[in-house]
Amino acid sequence: MSTDYRFLKACRREKVDTTPVWLMRQAGRYMAEYRAVRSKVTFLELCKSPELCTEVSLQPIDILGVDAAILFSDILVPIEPMGMKLDFNPSPVFESPIRTKADVDALRVIDPYEDVPYVIETVKMLRRELDGRVPLIGFSGAPFTLASYMVEGGGSKNFQKLKTMMYGAPEVYKALMDKITETVILYLRAQQDAGAQALQIFDTWGGILAPGDYKEYVLPYTKRVIDGIRSPLVPVINFVGNSQGLMPLVAQSGGDVIGVDWRIEIDEARRQVGMDKAVQGNLDPIALLAPIPEIERRVKEIIEKAGETGLIFNLGHGIVPETPVENVKALVEFVHKYGAR
């Protein structure tokens, strides 16, 4: 497995010729090519087709010139075979949310090769199709974020049901998190074995908690996942949304690279997580709707603040559908221009 890509070198905090860039949700609705594929199938049908997932995963490589591909899938894909009926309407909805110990007991830890073979096949197909152009990132949702959807039954504004379980039925919460954590470890190991060259853990909702609650209810499980997939050749990116008050704890939970959203300056995030880790981020996704000179200014500022080594440029969250493709192309060009060493 080649490790001499600028993206992987930056993950290891080695010197690079220029700052690498990839973007969360870089394959998505803002691209006409993606919309053309998506118009023919439902979202879940797309996620379960290795051929189509490979096609849309490659689109940003060909169109934008980013420095890494990421597997196209959804964080909830491995939850469905645990025993929960999943639908997208258009947001994710679980028909029967987890509320009791009996609900947790009915869940099963998945076998990725039996239960989500289409994901494993997509990773293999992508490695063949990429043919050494850029490295491939695999991913999973973090246990806490997956639990939030499973308990709430979908998205939530205040996560009342999940927090009520955490505070009032900790034994049920722990049993649920144990099963999810084991599933995530097996799921990411399978992607790694299939050829993923880096792995990202998405903890989109980790930032909804106070620091003390994050330390008690999230950190042990994320740490267990990262310890369970650790490999010297496959760096792990740990991204927690809305984490500006949690950065030292996020660093404690592990990861070779700490993902940073836009609510904290990149230099302050680096100071809090420590210089022994790379950082990834952290342009506000909505800034991509700004005039191109403003995008250029913001890219330059982030690169200057981040320092010379250990930066992977990214957004602080995913690209929004209204983003002009030309603005994204300009972003990639600006990163390579101002990140040149």
Buried b (16+ CB within 10 A) or exposed e, 217-230: bbbebbbbbbeebe
- pLDDT average, residue stretch 22-29: 96
86-95, 281-290, 304-313, 331-340 — which is least confidently predicted?
86-95
User: Which of these is catalytic: 34, 149, 187, 214?
Assistant: 149
Res. 89: pLDDT tops 80 = no
Measure CA 101 to chain center: 29
* Rounded-to-integer distance, Cα 4 and Cα 14, Å: 10
Q: How far apart are the first and last CA of the chain?
A: 26
* Rounded-to-integer distance, Cα 18 and Cα 299, Å: 13
Q: Give the pair of three-digit tokens for residue 254.
A: 């592990």
Average of per-residue pLDDT values in the chain: 96
- Residue 2's pLDDT band, with cuts at 50, 70 and 90, is low
H or E stretch including 186?
helix 170-194
The pLDDT tens digits for 147-156 are 999 999 988 9
CA distances from 197 to 7, 46, 251 (A): 10, 23, 21
The pLDDT tens digits for 220-254 are 999 999 999 999 999 999 999 999 999 999 999 99
- Nearest residue to 138 via CA among 86, 97, 197: 197
Q: How many residues does the chain have?
A: 341
Q: Judge whether 225 and 181 are in contact, CB under 8 Å.
A: yes
- The beta-carbon contacts of 263-270 under 8 Å, at least 24 apart in sequence, are 263/316, 265/305, 266/302, 266/305, 266/306, 266/311, 267/305, 267/306, 267/307, 269/244, 270/306, 270/307, 270/310
User: Which of these is catalytic: 74, 87, 213, 284?
Assistant: 74
Q: Does 263 qualify as catalytic in the annotation?
A: no
Res. 198: pLDDT tops 90 = yes
- Nearest residue to 85 via CA among 159, 160, 149, 176: 149
Tell me the percentage of the chain whose pLDDT exceeds 70: 99
Q: Does 149 qualify as catalytic in the annotation?
A: yes
* Bridge partner residues of 201 (DSSP): 140, 238
The pLDDT tens digits for 261-282 are 999 999 999 999 999 999 999 9
280 torsion bin: left (phi>0), alpha (psi -120 to 50), beta (else): beta
Phi, psi at 103, each rounded to 5°: -60, -40
User: Which of these is catalytic: 6, 13, 25, 270?
Assistant: 25
Res. 1: pLDDT tops 60 = no
Q: Does 133 qualify as catalytic in the annotation?
A: no
- pLDDT average, residue stretch 103-123: 98
The pLDDT tens digits for 122-147 are 999 999 999 899 999 999 999 999 99
- Residue 3's pLDDT band, with cuts at 50, 70 and 90, is low
Tell me the percentage of the chain whose pLDDT exceeds 90: 92
* Cβ-based burial of 132 (10 A; exposed 0-12, middle 13-18, buried ≥19): exposed
- pLDDT average, residue stretch 312-316: 97
Res. 334: pLDDT tops 60 = yes
Q: Give the pair of three-digit tokens for residue 256.
A: 């070779």
CB atoms within 10 A of CB 46: 19
- pLDDT average, residue stretch 283-306: 98
Q: Judge whether 8 and 235 are in contact, CB under 8 Å.
A: yes
Beta strands in the chain (DSSP E): 69-70, 86-88, 92-94, 136-141, 198-203, 236-240, 257-259, 278-283, 311-315
Q: Does 29 qualify as catalytic in the annotation?
A: yes
